[in-house]
Structure 1
């Protein structure tokens, strides 16, 4: 089986291979183009599926999927006009950028944590720590907990997990490291617990390195969003709508049983560098049917980062000023005409 951590080795070569093997001939060169920045994770599956099943082409846009090195670069590249579109997670840097007037337009949700278990983003305890008696959140006081970094969804998720046991971030020793590194840290005893996300959570379980400790702490939380450069949107509204229509159609396919389709799983497996059988056994993030963002969830995250002292402004960031629900509504109308 291909190890899930291979996803970080994927890049332009994978995208080129997929374009050659899946693309619909003779269509794309005459269509308006969008370059979309993505991470090779299953959360981005709707974009992979829309591209390879021809949904983007069907709605009239040629999409070039470009892998990114890290999630932090997306907003900077969009704001500077170096990329037309991409997806990112909610976090302190994004809220601060919006307050400063970053030139991005937010169009739709990209991923949301489902209201069910197993969770695609569980809070996990190492098997070694479990065997030594750390079997509840309360037992983690003073212990080392892995977090992807400050100011992002990972630390928000960990804080919510700790709340279930009456703890705060001040009660633990935060160790910042990326999810792929958690396996080694659990194995060598460097961490007692940590944030995780699929497919790394399943990898930890399969290798006997970790156990799910908390899974109901972030039900319904907005995880990521789709954004465009504002100037690009102003000049290419129809193209943006076409892109979003392809995305919505693919997202609905996935959220309504698409993961049971071997062709769909094969597409996602190629983009993520993950074995298809492995993909069939993990829980996934979801989206609202129409792609709309649950703003209450976003505001809750904003308040968390304010309490942490990570925000440089008072009051609420004016997200509504850049949230283009009008384009999302047009995209939904196009999908209704071409389901």
Structure 2
């Protein structure tokens, strides 16, 4: 009898061990690794905070932040499944890829332009050009203007700024170069004006190389979005919801005075390589409190690229085919419970 009980105990213990192992494996399976691509700019601050302040851990997601080189890389890497998530800006390439059936899922806004000045993305004139008499947008007709690329947000932003002076992109000489290169071009006279973003805009001002010419051209415009590999989302919806919940918590912290917190500035300075004194002086992008995307703003950008002949399709692209607002709704409900 004792032997039977003992064997029964051993069998029960073994079964319990196997069940525990299975449960452990299930938990590991429920917590997939998420590699998130980011750029070293303040726009990505919510992700830096979510990682360093433990919000990803709080919501049970295993996230690795990896630096990237450009927007196109993000969509390509996500579509191929080489990484699981990232943030990128709206542009012609994205609209075309959605129309072609890109295997990505857009889940939330990552940044939008505020309705106030100073702008985090001003249209600037070089101090040299200003001194030579270029003091209005209209004065830039036929002049050299720096634009980061032909099909992205920078192009859209420059076009909106030029509209303030009755000009179009076709009325100026477009010089394609990234914002960090604008300083040298302003200094050597290679550009009369150009698009910029923070912290480069503030650096241009402090170094006496440029000044803000237009700042009210993109009020409220959607700048970027968070996207995931579509197959990953379909297999791990809960992980995506938890990721978004951590992001929303960090974003709300920033947009409600977080930029005045020394600890926050330390974190962002480390990821961006930007001095705290510079971070304290820049203009910041914002986000809707619930992370939703203003689709009217997105449609305006799509219409702009359609007019320029940059789109490979007719009519409006079906954004609903890639926008998983249902996951964002669940994330908001999750944040609301804590």
Deviation of the 1:62 alpha carbon: 1.2
The secondary structure found in structure 2 opposite 1:72 is helix
Deviation of the 1:183 alpha carbon: 0.2
Q: 1:91-240 residue pairs with structure 2 within 5 A?
A: 91-240=91-240
> In the aligned structure 2, how far is the partner of 1:277 from the partner of 1:218?
26
Kept in 1: contact 2:33–2:63 (CA 8 A): yes
Kept in 2: contact 1:32–1:60 (CA 8 A): no
The residue aligned with 2:5 is none
Kept in 2: contact 1:104–1:229 (CA 8 A): yes
Kept in 2: contact 1:147–1:154 (CA 8 A): yes
> In the aligned structure 2, how far is the partner of 1:127 from the partner of 1:302?
33
> In the aligned structure 2, how far is the partner of 1:282 from the partner of 1:56?
27
The secondary structure found in structure 2 opposite 1:189 is coil
> In the aligned structure 2, how far is the partner of 1:234 from the partner of 1:32?
13
Q: What is the alpha-carbon root mean square deviation over aligned residues?
A: 1.2
> In the aligned structure 1, how far is the partner of 2:266 from the partner of 2:173?
40
How many residue pairs get matched? 311
> In the aligned structure 2, how far is the partner of 1:230 from the partner of 1:62?
18
> In the aligned structure 2, how far is the partner of 1:187 from the partner of 1:29?
54
Query: After superposition, what is the alpha-carbon deviation per residue over 1:253-277, rounded to whole angstroms, capped at 9, x for unaligned?
Result: 0000000000001000000001111
The residue aligned with 1:313 is 313
Q: 1:225-264 residue pairs with structure 2 within 5 A?
A: 225-264=225-264
> In the aligned structure 2, how far is the partner of 1:248 from the partner of 1:289?
8
Deviation of the 1:32 alpha carbon: 3.2
Deviation of the 1:31 alpha carbon: 4.3
Deviation of the 1:224 alpha carbon: 0.3
The residue aligned with 1:270 is 270
Q: Find the structure with the greater CA-based Rg.
A: 2
Deviation of the 1:120 alpha carbon: 0.2
> In the aligned structure 2, how far is the partner of 1:194 from the partner of 1:134?
13
> In the aligned structure 2, how far is the partner of 1:318 from the partner of 1:266?
41
The secondary structure found in structure 1 opposite 2:37 is strand
- Judged with a 3 Å threshold, the aligned counterparts in structure 2 of structure 1 residues 192 and 254 are, in CA distance, closer, same or farther, namely same
TM-score normalised according to structure 2 size: 0.91
Deviation of the 1:69 alpha carbon: 1.9
The residue aligned with 1:43 is 43
TM-score normalised according to structure 1 size: 0.90
Kept in 2: contact 1:112–1:286 (CA 8 A): yes
The secondary structure found in structure 2 opposite 1:194 is strand
Kept in 1: contact 2:104–2:322 (CA 8 A): yes
Kept in 2: contact 1:29–1:62 (CA 8 A): no
Structure 1 unaligned blocks of 5 or more:
1-27
Q: 1:70 aligned to 2:70?
A: yes
Query: After superposition, what is the alpha-carbon deviation per residue over 1:224-262, rounded to whole angstroms, capped at 9, x for unaligned?
Result: 000001100000000000000000000000000000000
